[in-house]
Structure formats: C-alpha cells, structure tokens
Amino acid sequence: MGLVAPAGMISIGRCLLLWGASAIAAAAPRSRMENCPLQTAYINRVATAVPPHDVHDAFRRFGQSLLDGDRRNSRLFQRMADRSGIEHRYSCLAPSELSGDDRINAKGFYPRGDFPDTAARMRQFEQHAPALAQAAVERLQLGAECDRITHLLITSCTGFSAPGLDLELIERCGLPSTVERTAIGFMGCYAAINALKLARHIVRSEASARVLIVNLELCTLHLQDTTDLEQMLSFLLFGDGCAACIVSADPVGVALDRFHAVLVPSTRELITWNIGEAGFDMVLSGGVPAAIHDGLREHGNEILAGAPVASINLWAVHPGGRTVLDAVERALDLAPAALASSRDILRRYGNMSSATVMFVIDNLLRSGARGRTGCAMSFGPGLIAETLLFRTAA
C-alpha cells in the first residue's frame, strides 16, 4: 500500500515547486541583462533664453539705496558688487528708468517698504514663465521631432502652479498629449544635474525615449525687503533664465557617463530656501565657498572616479558666484582658464539657479569642443555637490 501525503503537504509542495520554477525563470533574464552593456544617454543639443530686461544696474542701485544711512554696510555692499564678476542679469520685470525712483521696477512690483506677498509673486510666475520656457524650447528647432518626444522633465525652485508649466508647454510647443511629465521642484541650483540623471535612467530603460528637459527659474521674483547683507546678495547675484535640452540614445552631443553626489557634513544651514509670506526666502551664507572647497578637497577623487584632474579637458561648474568658482579652482588646483566658460556665463547672466550649469554646457558645446572628457557640477541646499562626468562626441 502506497503512502498518501496529507493535503496540506501537497499544497505546500506545489507552492515550493511553483516558487522554485518562477525563481529560476526570473533569474535567467536578470543574468543575461547583467551581461548586456547599458545604453549610453546623450545630451543631443542645448538651447537657452533669458527675458528682455537687463536689470543688473537697476537692482544694484536699488540694493545700495536700501543701505542709505549705514555707511559701513553700504561700503561693503559696494565692494561686493564691484567684485562680483557680473555685468548683466535679466528679469521678467522691466527696471524703472526714473532717477531716484522708490521702485526697483517700472510697474511698481517692488515699491520701497512694501514688497509683494508670495501670492503676487506666484501670479507673476504664472504670467511670465510659459513664454520664456517656450522661447527656449523653440530654439531647439525640434520641428517634426516634437512628435517623437516621449518624456518632459521640468525643474524650477522659483514658482509653482497647477495646471503647470508642463501642460502649458505641451500646448504651446505642440508636444504629444501622451508625453510623460515629471516636475522636479525646489531642489535649487543643482536640479539640472538631477534632471539629467533621471533622463539617463529613462533612456537606459527605454532606448527609443527622447527626453525634453526644461530648467526655468525666475529668481528676480524673490527679492527681499531687507538690509541683511547675506540676504541682499540676491540684489547682486540672481537673474532669470531658462535652458532646454534633448536627451536620447542618439550618439550626438554629450555622453552622460557617471553621476556622483557629495554631501558635505555640518553644512545644513549654509544654504536654505524656504517659502515665506513675502516670497521664497533664501539664506546664502558667506561660509559656502569654504565648505565647497573643503568638500571638493576631500571628495575630488571620488567625483572623478579616480581619474587625474589633468585628464579632464572641460569644466562645466555652476557659477554660484565668483567666490564659489574661486573655491573650486583652488580645491582642484585648476588652471585659471579651466573655468573660463563658467566665469563668462556669470559675467553675462549672473546666477540663474538650476538653469545656469546648462548655460555653461551650451557655452562649451558652442566652442566646438569635441572628443573630450568633462566634469559638470552644481551646488545647493544640503550642502550638496551634484556632479557629472561626460564626454563630447568626436
């Protein structure tokens, strides 16, 4: 007489057999995939746009006027302005042309002693952001390629609304209604590197993907009515701008090879960006350049994956300010010419938060640099350095 197993044991046995078969079946594809090289993602091209109003001199004069009666801080502000390395910045707000005007801009958005609340600033963002984003995307000259865009990534830390900029661009630029949309919000100056990182993941998982990235910031909507010198840096440093780029598997432009993030310990309070009643309130401490210097000194070898600094031909460093670029140059022992593109963008546009590093990459591509290795990096709240190793196509 044969032995008969209890019903419960039969059920358990079947489950184990099914699980084992499933595990074997699942393991084989993973093993094969591990042996397959991952798809390389490329920035195929970059386009940039800024608003029509050059406001650097007007913002500088207005900031100086807020310190009337404080001779010491007034002289310090003047010295900081003279040494900023910035000659032009652009804003969606037209500057006032009136001598001695108590308003920084022509339509009185920033009247002395009565700066607008956050709601008013967001209304300005909703009014001006779509046209600037559209201008940058149109400069990509997508043409029939619009129909092939599969993903849209938007970065911004200076304005929010819903329905938002992503849906505006679909309508304005004729993008497919099926495009997959992702908003990367409130990350600050390093958001563009994170957007490129996400685009690379998308292309690696979908070889036919074509990702449109738009980095748009209207920083001049967040000036503060203050006499605190660290907060007044916004009167000297920040401007508006937008960058757009296409990332795909087409081997044209800039190959995205490796991303690496560095969190510098005990620096949490050096850069903060909070939503207040009177706009977004930024603290940019004077200790930022030293923290960046020390962080890059300690982690430079990790950022470059062990490659010598001399092997990097192109440097696309976010120009957070002249002293930030000076700190990077010292930390990595770079030649003065290494950060020429970053300093040029700072001089011509100031700091446009997340859009700025893409302006630098665009500048490098326009210089005709081909078949070279490069390193891009941006810095922001944390304090974190987001970095990218790249190659320009031959």
**What's the Cα-to-Cα distance from 80 to each of 66, 329, 380, rounded to whole Å?**
15, 20, 21
pLDDT tens-digit profile of 108-162? 888 888 899 999 999 999 999 999 999 999 999 999 999 999 999 999 999 999 9
- Residue 18: the pLDDT is 38
CA distance 359 to 368: 15
Asked if residues 247 and 41 have their Cβ atoms less than 8 Å apart, the reply is: yes
* pLDDT score of 10 more than 80: no
- Residue 132: the pLDDT is 98
* pLDDT score of 5 more than 60: no
380: left (phi over 0), alpha (psi -120 to 50) or beta: beta
Residue 15 — very low, low, confident or very high, per pLDDT cuts 50/70/90?
very low
- Residue 107: the pLDDT is 74
At which residue do the structure tokens 């490129």 appear? Answer: 196
**What's the Cα-to-Cα distance from 339 to each of 28, 70, 310, 368, rounded to whole Å?**
48, 36, 14, 16
Cross-strand pairs, 90: 54
Residue 11 — very low, low, confident or very high, per pLDDT cuts 50/70/90?
very low
pTM score, whole prediction: 0.89
pLDDT tens-digit profile of 272-290? 989 999 999 988 898 999 9
Q: How many residues does the chain have?
A: 394
- Of 9-13, 179-183, 253-257, the one with minimum mean pLDDT is 9-13
3-state secondary structure the chain: CCCCCCHHHHHHHHHHHHHHHHHHHHHHHHHHHHCCCCCCEEEEEEEEECCCEECHHHHHHHHHHCCCCCHHHHHHHHHHHHCCCCCCCEECCCECCCCCCCECECCCCCECCCCCCHHHHHHHHHHHHHHHHHHHHHCCCCHHHHHHCCEEEEEECCCCCCCCHHHHHHHHHCCCCCCEEEEEECCCCCHHHHHHHHHHHHHHHCCCCEEEEEEEEEHHHHCCCCCCCCHHHHHHHECEEEEEEEEECCCCCEEEEEEEEEECCCCCCCEEEEEECCEEEEEECCCHHHHHHHHHHHHHHHHCCCCCHHHCCEEEECCCCHHHHHHHHHHCCCCHHHHHHHHHHHHHHCECHHHHHHHHHHHHHHCCCCCCEEEEEEEECCCEEEEEEEEECC
pLDDT tens-digit profile of 35-51? 567 899 999 999 999 99
Mean pLDDT of the 284-305 span: 95
* pLDDT score of 32 more than 50: no
More reliable by pLDDT, 367 or 116? 116
pLDDT tens-digit profile of 327-339? 999 999 999 999 9
- Of 123-137, 191-205, 210-224, 228-242, the one with minimum mean pLDDT is 228-242
At which residue do the structure tokens 């087409």 appear? Answer: 250
Burial pattern 129-152, b for ≥16 Cβ within 10 A else e, equals bbebbbbbbebbebeeebeebbbb
Residue 359 — very low, low, confident or very high, per pLDDT cuts 50/70/90?
very high
